[in-house]
Amino acid sequence: MWTTELDISPLTPFIGAEVTGVDLNAPDPDLIQEIENVLHRYSVVFFRNQPELSPAEHTDLASAFGPVHVHPAAPRGSDFPGILKIEADRDTKVAAGNRWHSDVSCEQEPPYVSILQLHEIPPVGGDTLFASMYAAYEALSQRMKQMLDGMTARHSGEWSYRHLFKYELHEPQQGYPEAVHPVVIRHHGSHRPALYVNREFTAELNDLPPEEGGALLKFLLDHAERADFQCRFRWSPNAVAIWDNRSTQHFAMWDYRPDVRKGRRVSVRGKAPKMWRQVETPSTSKV
């Protein structure tokens, strides 16, 4: 049974909770475990009125969840390679995160948890939307769930990193990150099924002809972005969001230009997503 000692206020029945009375600058193992418990239930947790975390403190917080992930576009040579700057102002041509995505799902072992703190926010706008992939999967028909059972998809970072953001690879000979993942994954912590395709990185469904796969992928992407699976967070200075990339997608609104939105993100390394396989019931078993 799920329990927690934290003071939490759910944002929706499916996803999102605000936690109060916590100082993330002084995490201990019990607090980290409690936060993970809330993540398993609500997928994204928000903390307001936090101190501004230094790069070292931000990295230490992420490290409490596991080894720090280094983004493929992060600058090398930094004292804190896990720090990814999130910045947009009047001169920004393309803002990061302005499409639905799960962080770096194009890698073989995508990040598990991401932790974002915004230090400077626009007077209005710049919200972040999160969508529950638990709820997205559960809302599918039984026939659709059966069709997706065992299916995989190719995730690619080339379009995003080369064509959109013009990122230069640190190791060009390796090419842009690409991976094959299950369309429906089994969450390693909650053991629940979650839909795992997103508009930013999922290039195609395997196991189907291109025409059929393209049509099905479009349906799944549109379905995953339904408003009734979402919560929306309006930022305040130094607020922190911690989210689970295995059970969510997110979308950063870029509706505040020419104002400034600035902060830092650190992610935690994850393992390769595992496939969810349905257990046959008497009503679906062959006779």
The one-character DSSP state at 281 is: -
Q: Is 265 a catalytic residue?
A: yes
Q: Are 250 and 97 in contact (CB under 8 A)?
A: yes
d(CA 203, CA 213): 10
d(CA 242, CA 255): 22
Candidates 69, 71, 101, 246; catalytic one? 101
Candidates 69, 250, 261, 264; catalytic one? 250
Q: Is 101 a catalytic residue?
A: yes
Candidates 58, 103, 246, 264; catalytic one? 103
d(CA 48, CA 234): 11
Calculate the alpha carbon distances from 177 to 109, 115, 153, 155, 169 in Å: 11, 22, 14, 8, 10
120-123 LR contacts (CB < 8 Å, sep 24+): 120/237, 120/260, 120/261, 120/262, 120/263, 121/235, 121/236, 121/237, 121/261, 122/256, 122/259, 122/260, 122/261, 123/256, 123/259
Calculate the alpha carbon distances from 195 to 150, 186, 208, 271 in Å: 12, 9, 18, 17
User: Which residues are identified as catalytic?
Assistant: 101, 103, 250, 265
